[in-house]
Structure 1
Amino acid sequence: MKTRGAVITEAPGTYKVVELELAGPRQNEIMVKMFASGLCHSDDHLAKGDHAYSHLPICGGHEGSGIVVEVGPHTDGWEVGDHVIFSFLAGCGRCRWCAKGLQNLCDRGATIMSGSRPDDPESFRLSMDGTPVAQMCGLGTFSEYSTVHVDSAVKVDKDLPLDKLCLLGCGVGTGWGAAVNSAEVYPGHTVIVMGIGGIGINAVQGAAHAGAAHIIAVDPVEFKRTTALELGATHAVATMEEATEIARSFTNGQGADSAIVTVGVTTGEHVAQAFSSIRKAGTVVVTGLGKGTDIGIPVSLLELTLYQKRIQGSLFGASAPSADIPWMVELYRSGKLELDKLITTTYTLDNIAQGYIDMHEGKNIRGVVLFD
């Protein structure tokens, strides 16, 4: 069938809305009419060329929700009309990592940068004028319709707002899990969150939910600092120097229990600043992405060893999407997780470029594309 989607044909490049041909679902696949898609910084990294995708052109978008319009043959448990949230990381449920509860590290991730079907690297669901088009994370949520593997979809109740729930497929789980899972925030902890965008604001929420006594949000944009204070931060400052001083004032000069780095374009210097802000046996959690070619973190190896500090990477907040997305749905339903206030501005598919301009200008916590 025909669909319209936002595609980049070269990197660096810009998203352009074009007509695409979409293949119908095979076994264990569903076709979904998209309802909403979050504008995540990772898709901008793709457009800027920070990360090399193995196939271009590619349809962007990996944080989405929608309604099933077609189910592939012999695909049990799914039917037309089901409401779904996409997980940008598929979980097969059978590999070593899924079996250990580390579904975010599923072996399916090996194909995430190809945009093809996970079981056939030469097979693409989208095409443009006969040329195969990849799907960002196998999803391509910047398209009016998308065909995806069921391992990338989580069914949700039909009474819930899909425009809000789309955020659970990446930004919310990544930030929330960075605090709750990766930083292992406990009641009474002092936590610094560096960067208050679509990930950082949810790290603030996660730290608050875990019972942190002091949550220090760091961002140069006043609007983002104000939002952080509304959603659980106890302090909000413009620089890491200020945050570190505040953390030390609560910890007998020791520093924060953890610092979570969610800066849009993360550098080694950001990680080093976070490293300097934590106490002995403290943890730096890194969720932000930098350029794939950037190497090195300027930290003291002596301090790393003698102070027993930890630098911890965190992919999708170290979560298990098939379990944690439904859990976060229930937290939202019960009022313990805020989603509505995370969406600053909504856009049409044709206005997606403006959404990323607004992101770079610090105007949004999260922009969301709404489809007709």
Structure 2
Amino acid sequence: MDDKNNLNSALSEKAGISAPEIISATVVQNIQKFRKVQPSATSLVKGILSGNISDLSRAITLVESTNPEHLAKANEVINACLFHANKSVRIGITGVPGVGKSTFIESFGSHLTSLGKKVAVLAVDPSSTISHGSILGDKTRMEELVKDPNAYIRPSASGDTLGGVARKTRETITLCEACGFDTIIIETVGVGQSETAVHSMVDFFLLLKIAGAGDELQGIKRGIMEMADAIVINKADGDNIRKAKLAKTEFNRALHLFPAKKSGWTATTATCSSVTGDGIPEVWETISKFLQLTNDNNYFNNKRVEQNEYWLLETINERLKLNFYNNIEIQALLESTKKAVQKDKISPFAAAQILLEKYFK
């Protein structure tokens, strides 16, 4: 085919337009140089205490890092912020995928900021077990709340943490509180494996449900229902209002089957619509009543003390695991041990014992 026919073909390519040379090489170098400069722990703390969101984000990134070199610096930042923390309400929100957690949080968070609250949303996204990547799309789903000057959204990958709670969420709460956020919302992945972790770092635990999906029967099961301080049936709008009210009645009956909580609080049920906003103010009213009760009977402070003890032990377990896998001698021995296990030359339990004895020598 000749050149003329090539130009008339639907498969022919048109000459592209080259990008204009509007980017200064000097500017690029300056940006790259700036990114390489790592602020000191003192600088980060000063920025966090003054409400600087950029410094808060950089500190959280430092805390989430698995690089052993960042550990000392991260601990310095956290310890300096501890005195300025513990002045917020921590709310955990969980529910199965598709229940509308992100939409609910956007509507609920916007209501709180309208009341003058400063809201930090710590959203945990599931990590792929294959690529180990995470979409981290919560800022996209909460497009209105992310533009609110009194709100801060920080998505984090769940990694290999059971139950979908990011490994460093507990420390991130401290940093957000020091930065002046008085309401911390933690959104779990909602995979149903273990909500115990998020329950052990919040003051109020909210379980989102939907009607008409067989979820009522699942809700009657123990476990997560016992941990919930309130059950809210979301998406109660349009043709779904009647189903939502029926689901509320069923959950309310189920709650009476459980023993009384140590807090003295009786779990409640409610319906809401994250789209229309119906029922959203009532959710905050419920949380406010819970806080009033638990502050009066001192359960609030006692629970915070118990949580600190729990996370002490959890951190020890985490550090031991991290140090074990970062040990040079273990890394050298691990691969050969894996191959021996794969070829059935040694049992997994005996192999693990050998590696642990080597580590603790």
Whichever structure has more helix as a proportion of its residues is: 2
- Rg (Cα) greater in structure: 2
Normalised to the residue count of structure 1, the TM-score between the two structures is 0.27
Whichever structure has more strand as a proportion of its residues is: 1
Normalised to the residue count of structure 2, the TM-score between the two structures is 0.27
Give the number of the structure with larger relative contact order, counting CA–CA contacts within 8 Å between residues 6 or more apart: 1
